[in-house]
Amino acid sequence: MDPVVNLWPLAGIAAIVVGFLLRFNPVLVVLVAGLITGLAAKMPIGDILEKLGSGFLNTRNLPLILLLPLVVIGLLERHGLKERAQAWIAQIKSATAGRLLIVYLLVRELTAAMGLTSLGGHPQMVRPLLAPMAEGATENRYGELPPEVRHRLRAMAAATDNVGLFFGEDIFVAFGAIIFMHNFMQQSAGIQTDPLQIALWGIPTAVCAFLIHAFRLRRLDKTLAAELAALNAQAQKAKGGR
């Protein structure tokens, strides 16, 4: 007969959901949820406090690691980082949003394949540099952009970073997912594999992802050219009618 599983410790999850829905202090919600889970699991109070204390000590530097780059990027943006990026890309006459993003996609995949996943990202690269440069390259060709075009360029810049990171890191032999697949196949299915072989089989997928997304970016250039040319023609016609 199977032993009875105690599901009461899962009440801590319900406490987290309720606390966040009611917008209570997150630290207080997590603390209460930990206490509820520990008591439901019949842990002594001393052990519960020890676990909470060790968890706090292990993650005490996490807010600094997360917030410090955001502070630095915010200061750079306030002192004209976006404007300088747009002005620099405007000097390259042959630059388009699609060509710029294709180059970034290639660099992002290659660096992620070497394990350098922190070189890009939405807060530190896409928002302050990549998206403004894509907008600047498009403005340099077609003038002032409507809001919907700006939002589309920003979304495509973020998508390019996601594609490059997701398919590039699958080639890195020490990537967590590769180690997980290796252990799972070896322990659960009895299949002997080498993490390097799994990583190498990620290369065809990464190449296909690059080609497909590069095609989308080239199509983006053509679509923007047609749309913005039509808008400019309508604006010139409206001015002539006056």
Q: Strand (E) positions, the chain?
A: none
Q: Which residue has the higher pLDDT, 186 or 226?
A: 226
Could you tell me the CA-to-CA distances from 173 to 118, 120, 198 in Å, in that order? 16, 19, 8
Question: What pLDDT is stored for residue 99 in this prediction?
Answer: 94
Q: Which amino acid is at 1?
A: M
Statement: residue 113 has pLDDT above 50: yes
For residue 65, is pLDDT > 60? no
CA distances from 187 to 96, 183, 198 (A): 49, 6, 16
Encoded tokens for 221: 């250039």
Task: Indicate if the pLDDT at residue 186 is higher than 70.
Answer: yes
Per the listing, tokens 């023609």 go with: 233
**For residue 68, what pLDDT band results from cuts at 50, 70 and 90?**
low
Per residue in 123-137, pLDDT (tens digit) is 888 988 899 889 988
Question: Is 165 or 180 the better-scoring residue by pLDDT?
Answer: 165
Q: 219 falls in which pLDDT band (50, 70, 90)? A: very high
pLDDT at 1: 44
What are the pLDDT digits (tens) for 17-36? 888 888 887 778 888 888 88
How far from 240 is each of 55, 192, 226, CA to CA, in Å? 69, 74, 21
pTM for the model: 0.66
Q: Quick one: pLDDT at residue 174? A: 67
Rounded-to-integer distance, Cα 34 and Cα 29, Å: 9
User: What are the residue boundaries of the structural domains of the chain, listed by start?
Assistant: 8-60, 66-241
Sign of CA dihedral 187, 189, 194, 196: negative
